[in-house]
Structure 1
Amino acid sequence: MIDGERTAAAARRRVAAVLFDMDGTLLDSEPAYYASDRDFLAGYGIDYTEELNASFTGRGAYEMMRALERMYPDSPIRALSLEERIRMKDEAYARYAPSRVKAFPAVEAFARELSRRGVGLAIASGSSPEVIELMIRGNGLDGLFAVRVSSAEVPRGKPEPDVFLEAARRLGVEPGSCLVLEDSRYGVAAARAAGMSCIALPVAGSRAMEEFGSADIVVEGGAVAFDPEAALRAFDWERRA
C-alpha cells in the first residue's frame, strides 16, 4: 500500500523518467548479498554481522570496503587493493546469486508498464557495473533498462546525488522530472539531493517514517507491499519523444 497523505502531496507531478535502485528495490537480492559477503569476509577474519550489513545498506561497494578497512585494521584484506576486493566480492556474489535472486513482481510490473507508456527508465545502483549487468540480464530485464549507472562510475556514491544525476544525464532528462525508487535512507537522501521525486520502499526493520520522511511517498512494508497501480495514479507521466 501507499501512504495516502504522501500520495496526495506527490500527485500531479510530471515525470519523464524513473530511476530504479537495484538491490532491495527492483531485485530481492539483499539476503543473497549478505550471505555471499559474510562468507567472503569471514575468510579475512571479518565478522560481518547482520547489524553491520544493515549499516551499509544503500551504500556502494567501494564505500563499504573502505569502511571495513578502517574498522578491521589487522585484517589481511588490507593487503588487497580496493579493486581486488571488489572483484572478489563480485565473484562470490556471482557464484551465489543467479539461482537465488529474482525481481520483486510488483516493481517489475511497474517498470514494464512505464516502458509500455514510453517513460524513460534507468538503473542507478551501488553495485559494480559487472554485477548490474549480470543480474539485469539474468532476470530478463535488459530490454527495459538500456541505461545502467553504477556508483563506481561517478565520483561519489549515495547519499550523494551523483549516480542519479548521471542517470538523468544519460537519459537526456532534467533531474527535476525524474522519480526515484529506493529502499535505503542513503538512496532517498541522494534522490532528494538530486532534486528528484522519490518513492521509498523501506527495508525490513527500518523506522519508516523517521528514516524516510523526506520521500514523497513511503510504502511501509517495502517492495513486497508496493502497489504499481497506486504509483501510476500518483503522477502524470510524460512520454519521451
Structure 2
Amino acid sequence: MASTVISSSSASTKALLSHRKASVTTLQSHERTFSSSLFGTRPGITRRAITTTTTTTTTRPVIRRGARHSGVRFSVCSALPSALLFDCDGVLVDTEKDGHRISFNDTFAERELGVTWDVDLYGELLKIGGGKERMTAYFNKTGWPEKAPKSEEERKEFIASLHKRKTELFMVLIEKKLLPLRPGVAKLIDQALGKGVNVAVCSTSNEKAVSAIVSCLLGPERAEKIKIFAGDVVPRKKPDPAIYTLAASTLGVEPSRCVVVEDSAIGLAAAKAAGMKCIVTKSGYTADEDFLNADAVFDCIGDPPEERFDLAFCGSLLEKQYVS
C-alpha cells in the first residue's frame, strides 16, 4: 500500500545538521478500507504504517518510482501543476467497447467489407495508437477486403474515408449522450480551471470526435477553456511522446510541471517519455495492463463520497514522494 513520506521541518533540519545525527520518523496511519469500484466490488484497500529515515545529507526522502495508489486519497500539498493533461478515450469517457468499436463495425457493414471486430479482438487492436493506424495494421495482417484498392496511396485514401465515416457515426453516439463521463472527470477539471491550471485533452483519436466529447459532455463553458491536441496534429501517435511534448510547448509550461491522466500502457509510456507525472485511471480494456511506471494507479477519479483523488493530490506528485 502507499503512504506519504513526510519531509523534516526546517528547524529539525538545522538541529540534525548541527548534531550530525540521523533521525528516524515513523508515520502511522489508521487503517482505512475502501470498497466499490467502477467495475464492481473490489478487495478492501488498507493504509498501513511505514518507517522512513532522513539523514543529514538531505532534507528530502528517497524517491521510489512506480508507487501505486489504489483507492487511497491523499491531499497533502498545496502546490499546483502547471497543466493537467487528459487522454480522452477511456479517461474522460469509457468509449472503446461500446463506442469506437461499434462505430468501426457499423462502418464496415455499410461498406460491405465482411469485417467485424469482436470485444476481445478490439482489445488487442487498442495496443495500436490511432484508428487509421489500427485499421491499416489489421488489414495488413489479415488481408485487405476485396473492395479495397490495390495501390498503397489509394489504400491510404480508402482508410481515411472509412475513418471519416466511423467518426461521424461515433459523434452521433456522443451527441445523444449515450456514453457518459467517467466519475470525477468534471469535478477534477472544475478544480483545475478554478485554480487557473491549464487543462488540455491529448488523444490519438480524431480531433472532431474529441471535440464532440469535450463540448457535448463537459459543456460549452468548460470546452472554451480546454485546449485539444488530437488526431494527426503530430506525425507519431502514442506511445511516442510527441503529443504531450507539443501540449507542453504550446501551453508554455515545463513538462516536469505537468500531470497526465491516462488509462493505457501506451499512454503512460508517452507521458513518461515526455518527462511528465502520470496518474492511471484503469478502464474496461486496460484493467490488466502493466502500469509499473505510473506515479499513481486508481480505478477512476471518483466523485464524493467515492472520490479517489483530487487536484491537491495531482499537485502533491510534483513535490511529495511515495513508497509502497
- Scaled by the length of structure 1, the TM-score of the pair is 0.84
The answer to which structure, 1 or 2, has the higher relative contact order (CA under 8 A, 6+ apart) is: 1
Aligned position for 2:134:
64
Asked whether the equivalents of residues 10 and 216 of structure 1 are also in contact (C-alpha less than 8 Å), the reply is: no
Q: Tell me whether 1:19 sits opposite 2:19 in the alignment.
A: no
The CA distance in 2 between the partners of 1:78 and 1:164, in whole Å, is: 34
1:109 equivalent to 2:187? Answer: yes
Corresponding pairs, count: 236
Identity of aligned residues (%): 27
Larger helix percent = 1
Rounded Cα–Cα distance in structure 1 between residues aligned with 2:286 and 2:124: 11
Q: Distance in 2 between matches of 1:70 and 1:3?
A: 48
**TM-align CA RMSD:** 3.0
Could you list the structure 1 runs, at least 4 aligned residues long, displaced by more than 6 angstroms after superposition: 1-4, 8-11
Q: Which one has the largest radius of gyration? A: 2
- Which ranges of structure 1 fall in alignment gaps of 5 or more residues? none
Cα 1:19–1:205, aligned 2, differ >3 Å: closer, same or farther? closer
Say which is worse superposed, 4-13 or 64-73, in terms of deviation: 4-13
The separation in 1 between residues aligned to 2:197 and 2:203, in whole angstroms, is 19
Q: What's the counterpart of residue 164 of structure 2?
A: 87
Match of 2:103 in 1: 36
Q: Deviations over 1:82-115 (max 9, x none)?
A: 3212212212212333211222241111111111
Matched residue of 2:259: which SS? strand
Distance in 2 separating the partners of 1:142 and 1:87: 24
Q: Hey, what does 1:46 align to over in structure 2?
A: 115
Unaligned 5+ residue runs, structure 2? 1-33, 35-44, 48-66, 150-154, 319-324
Report how far residue 27 of structure 1 moved.
1.8
Counterpart AA for 1:122: A
- C-alpha distance in 2 between matches for 1:198 and 1:11: 18
Matched, 1:184 2:274: no
> What is the alpha-carbon distance in structure 2 between the residues aligned to residue 3 and residue 131 of structure 1?
39
> CA separation in 2, counterparts of 1:9 and 1:107?
17
The 1:77–1:146 alpha-carbon spacing in structure 2 relative to 1, beyond 3 Å, is: farther
Distance 1:218 1:84 in 2: 37
- 2:204 pairs with one of 123, 126, 130: 126
Query: Is 2:238 aligned against 1:168?
Result: no
CA distance in 2, matches of 1:169, 1:3: 40
C-alpha change, 1:207 and 1:229, in structure 2 (3 Å) is closer
Structure 2 CA distance, aligned partners of 1:224 and 1:44? Answer: 41
Q: Structure 1: how far apart are the matches of 2:136 and 2:301?
A: 29
1:83–1:158 Cα change, 3 Å:
same
Residue 230 of structure 1: SS of its match in structure 2?
A: coil
Deviation of 1:60 after TM superposition, in Å, equals: 1.5
On the 8 A contact 1:60/1:127 being kept in 2, the answer is yes
